[in-house]
Structure 1
Amino acid sequence: MKIRLNLLSQLLVFMVDNINAGVIGMGKMGILHTGILNSLNGVNVKGVAEKQDLILKPIRQLLPSIGTYNDYLDMIKKENLDLIYITTPTSFHANIALDCLDHGIPFFVEKPLGISVDDCKPLIEAVRKKPVINMIGYSKRFVDTFTKAKEIIDSGILGELIYFNSSMYVSQLFSKGKGWRYKKEASGGGVLSTLAAHLVDLLVWFFGEVSLVEGHTKSYYSKDVEDFVHAYLLFEGGLGGYMDTSWSVRNHRLPEIKIEVHGEKGMLVVTDDYVKIYTDQEARWKNYYKQDLYAGVEFDLGGPEYTREDRHMIESVKQKQDTGLDILEGFKVQKVVDGIYKSASTNSAVEGDEL
């Protein structure tokens, strides 16, 4: 009898902890998150929403236990969901998140938060009035090397930070692009909005709030969005430096980030693959490679950072606690991105209340 009661108790705990998730948008990121979520203990993907039947048909055939919907509101009404992932084109993010808020359902939204600051403001105001657990998909914060760099910067070992230089490149576009990412009304912008928002997020995470930006953009392959961006960023703490990004640079098969930080007592260089730190006190370089820092994950699809990101979201929902990477963090990035676009269009710096 005692054994049966113990088993029943364990079963009830499992039922309480079990998370029923829904995914809206079954493009690359929707498929990725669905796969990861289904691999995590205590998580069930109960429904997916996608407008295109061509995409839903194989899901119905291969995963008949998952509900499939053309209208995400039907999924919200019919499935008992504890969490929703929003992985649609950027222009839909804010409105879908507002619907999640209206139903009191925690949500995860892929980056960027929206197509503009104005697009995001109603969501930010709503979540402040009616908060639910939420998270934005700035997955680079879960990469071992960038986590280590954050730890080193926060330790103060570099002393006062003086200057930084940063870049993010990928060999993606060398002819006219096809799809929503190359249409400003759907994506919000080109390489800066859809790719280098990751770099902006890391810089804000490392250094704090931005007080001034000055940006320049260039379109060569694209008609409606930018292919190249160069910007100067000044942070409230006084640190200033540059970021450069393009999806039209050769010899970068995968997106590559590099951030170089110069301080009063040394310097740091971090990429997706390594962290290197030089201190005047030791007068030598100390290297940390990703294989040395790596902590395994239960399922690796697209990179371990995505599993860590999803695991963090799930645990936050289970524990009913803030994710530490909510849409307010995403809004900080949105303001910097918008500031760079505004600066580029007016050929002048943007600062203060304009950000």
Structure 2
Amino acid sequence: MIKVAVAGLGRMGISHVAIANSHPDVEIVGVCDVSQFVLGALQQYSSFACFDNYDKMIEATEPDGVIIATPTSSHAEILHATVVQGRHIFVEKPFCPQPEDSCRLAGLAKQHAIVNQVGYHLRFLATFNEAKRLLDDQVIGDVYHFQAETYGPLVLNKSSSWRGKKSEAGGCLYDYASHAINLVNYLIGMPESVRGSVLKHIYSTEVEDAVYSTLNFANGVTGQLAVNWSDETYRKMEARLTILGSAGKIVVDRQECRIYLRHKNEVKDLSPGWNIKYTTELTNPVWYYLRGEEFSAQIDYFVEQIRTKNDDNINSFASAAETDVVIDMIKQDAMSLH
């Protein structure tokens, strides 16, 4: 059994506890949070060893791996201490508020040869992975432009939570846009520059509620980023990429991957015109369902990487650091326009 400890018992932390605790190869050896209310409930209704101090939990439980779901502003300090101990780490997104910390920790994790993973769960959705396979095989020819969009109804009034606080790395750019940027880096590549970036306030005062930017790539590809977490026309967060190529087009979200081709593709057995692949036919079953298959899939992947001692990860610190660099590029570009 792989011994896992969990730090941070908010919405995502509790979800990770439930998923990891159900995994046949995992033993939850400790959970940690500063909230006495949350700890009290777990002490009363679970058998988990509960702690209000991270260092004490690590010392008492000596886990093989740690799931960190604490506020983003705390990541750099906690991650550094955990990496140098040689413990495997899954940390929630976004990685770190400062890209310098992200790049430093990515290098440190490689140096210590630990499994290192960041919780960008959209990379575990079958539809987006199907889009990646099609792009890698150049099914739509040479990509020349794309639109990356993420919308949802997360903030619909003035909020006093951490999401509305700049000091806690709140804001649509870090929380919502990071997903779209991470997908762009995964499917298209990392942009060389950004321009025309806008951080729009709708309800929040300290942080932005919407993000718009144009991304430019060294090979001439361009893209538009449009993200809004204050859009009440959506029931929950939805991410979509529209990718234009010389031989066709891909439109992909969590439900389906739609491929338009000018000519038949014999290798992939795709017809001219629209072809649709649904998530139901692409997704592998998971042993435990909570919030979505991708949340279980990413934890299973983390466990498997530990079991096989493979520190090469689809969602590594290094890939998350690239996302943080692009986030900072957009932030700096928006500031320069003011």
**TM-score, normalisation: structure 1:** 0.90
Instruction: Give, in whole Å, the separation in 1 of the partners of 2:103 and 2:277.
Output: 40
Instruction: Give, in whole Å, the separation in 1 of the partners of 2:243 and 2:114.
Output: 36
Q: State the match for 1:61 in structure 2.
A: 44
Q: CA RMSD in A?
A: 1.3
Q: Is the Cα–Cα contact under 8 Å of residues 266 and 278 in structure 1 kept in the other structure?
A: yes
Q: State the match for 2:119 in structure 1.
A: 137
- The 1:295/1:345 distance shift into structure 2, 3 A limit, reads same
Q: State the match for 1:353 in structure 2.
A: none
Superposed, 1:92-103 pairs within 5 Å as 92-103=74-85
- Displacement of 1:27 in angstroms is 0.3
CA displacement 1:153-178 (0-9 Å, x = unmatched): 11111111111112100012221012
Instruction: Give, in whole Å, the separation in 2 of the partners of 1:236 and 1:128.
Output: 27
Q: State the match for 1:309 in structure 2.
A: 298
Instruction: Give, in whole Å, the separation in 2 of the partners of 1:175 and 1:167.
Output: 22
**TM-score, normalisation: structure 2:** 0.94
Q: State the match for 1:272 in structure 2.
A: 254
Aligned length: 329
Q: State the match for 2:202 in structure 1.
A: 220
- Displacement of 1:100 in angstroms is 0.7
- Displacement of 1:238 in angstroms is 2.3
Question: SS at 2:204's partner residue?
Answer: coil
Superposed, 1:56-95 pairs within 5 Å as 56-64=39-47, 66-95=48-77
CA displacement 1:330-354 (0-9 Å, x = unmatched): 0000000111011000029xxxxxx
Q: State the match for 1:5 in structure 2.
A: none
CA displacement 1:180-202 (0-9 Å, x = unmatched): 12111112x41121112111111
Q: Is the Cα–Cα contact under 8 Å of residues 115 and 185 in structure 1 kept in the other structure?
A: no
Greater gyration radius: 1
Find runs of 4+ consecutive structure 1 residues off by over 4 angstroms: none
Q: State the match for 2:269 in structure 1.
A: none
Q: 1:190 aligns with which of 171, 174, 187?
A: 171
Residue 42 of structure 1 pairs with residue 25 of structure 2:
yes
Q: Is the Cα–Cα contact under 8 Å of residues 7 and 54 in structure 2 kept in the other structure?
A: yes
Q: 1:331 aligns with which of 313, 318, 321?
A: 321
Q: State the match for 1:319 in structure 2.
A: 308
Instruction: Give, in whole Å, the separation in 2 of the partners of 1:231 and 1:116.
Output: 20
- Displacement of 1:306 in angstroms is 0.6
- Displacement of 1:324 in angstroms is 2.9
CA displacement 1:70-106 (0-9 Å, x = unmatched): 1100011110200000101100112111111121111
Instruction: Give, in whole Å, the separation in 2 of the partners of 1:29 and 1:278.
Output: 36
Superposed, 1:104-119 pairs within 5 Å as 104-119=86-101
Superposed, 1:239-250 pairs within 5 Å as 239-250=221-232
Q: Is the Cα–Cα contact under 8 Å of residues 156 and 232 in structure 2 kept in the other structure?
A: no
Question: SS at 1:196's partner residue?
Answer: helix
Q: Is the Cα–Cα contact under 8 Å of residues 257 and 278 in structure 2 kept in the other structure?
A: yes
Q: State the match for 1:296 in structure 2.
A: 285
Instruction: Give, in whole Å, the separation in 2 of the partners of 1:307 and 1:79.
Output: 24
Q: Is the Cα–Cα contact under 8 Å of residues 248 and 262 in structure 2 kept in the other structure?
A: yes
Q: Is the Cα–Cα contact under 8 Å of residues 29 and 63 in structure 2 kept in the other structure?
A: yes
Instruction: Give, in whole Å, the separation in 2 of the partners of 1:131 and 1:235.
Output: 31
Residue 21 of structure 1 pairs with residue 4 of structure 2:
yes
Residue 233 of structure 1 pairs with residue 215 of structure 2:
yes
Q: State the match for 2:336 in structure 1.
A: 346
Q: State the match for 2:182 in structure 1.
A: 201
- Displacement of 1:35 in angstroms is 0.4
Instruction: Give, in whole Å, the separation in 2 of the partners of 1:257 and 1:126.
Output: 32
Q: For residue 54 of structure 1, what is the amino acid of its counterpart?
A: F
Q: For residue 203 of structure 1, what is the amino acid of its counterpart?
A: V
- Displacement of 1:247 in angstroms is 0.7
Q: Is the Cα–Cα contact under 8 Å of residues 207 and 235 in structure 1 kept in the other structure?
A: no
- The 1:119/1:236 distance shift into structure 2, 3 A limit, reads same
Q: State the match for 2:267 in structure 1.
A: none
CA displacement 1:98-137 (0-9 Å, x = unmatched): 1111211111110010112134344234334333111011
Q: Which runs of 5+ in 1 are unaligned?
A: 1-17, 349-355
Superposed, 1:145-184 pairs within 5 Å as 145-184=127-166
Instruction: Give, in whole Å, the separation in 1 of the partners of 2:97 and 2:198.
Output: 19
Q: Is the Cα–Cα contact under 8 Å of residues 213 and 340 in structure 1 kept in the other structure?
A: yes
Q: State the match for 1:10 in structure 2.
A: none
